[in-house]
Amino acid sequence: MSTIKGSLTIVYEPPFYKAIFERRFNSTYEVSQINLGPSEPKLTLIYDLVIHHWNRIIFFKQTVCASSVSERKINPKRLQRLARKSIQYGVGTKAQQTLQKQLECQKVTRQHNRRTKKILDQEKRYKLHQAKKIQKHKGPLRS
């Protein structure tokens, strides 16, 4: 039997309040972020968002590494040292890091789409230019 665990965090990052939705299902971690506006969100707005607009929330997926269970007992001081080393300084929570990755992925796809559209437009203009050149070479149509 599998369970879905979810959480909602409201944070204030000036000048806006943001809702960060997180959910875990088996080994999948998903996160989404929604801007709530500059004023403090009312409880009715949050209930409405969760109950009526849940299907409109777009989640970004990330697979979670399964934690390896070690058979040997680790010395507590060594465990503290390892924990201290594993702390990442910089952009905060796992949700924020996942959202940053999502923004980077969206940026790459936008660049790719823009590049392909530009190439297609250039080819279309070139074919149109060639067709006009051929028509001009043939001369005016006579009926």
Which residues neighbour 127 within 8 Å (Cβ) at sequence distance 6 or greater?
none
Q: Does the pLDDT value for residue 113 go beyond 90?
A: yes
Question: Sorting pLDDT into bands at 50, 70 and 90, what band is 9?
Answer: confident
Question: Sorting pLDDT into bands at 50, 70 and 90, what band is 143?
Answer: low
Q: Does the pLDDT value for residue 65 go beyond 70?
A: no
pLDDT digits (tens, 9 = 90+) for 26-43: 888 888 888 888 889 899
60, 101 Cβ separation under 8 angstroms: yes
Determine the pLDDT at residue 67: 46
The residues with which 8 forms a beta bridge, in sequence order, are 21
Task: Name the 3-class secondary structure at 116.
Answer: helix
In whole angstroms, give the CA distance from residue 30 to residue 24.
Answer: 6
Give pTM, 2 decimals. 0.46
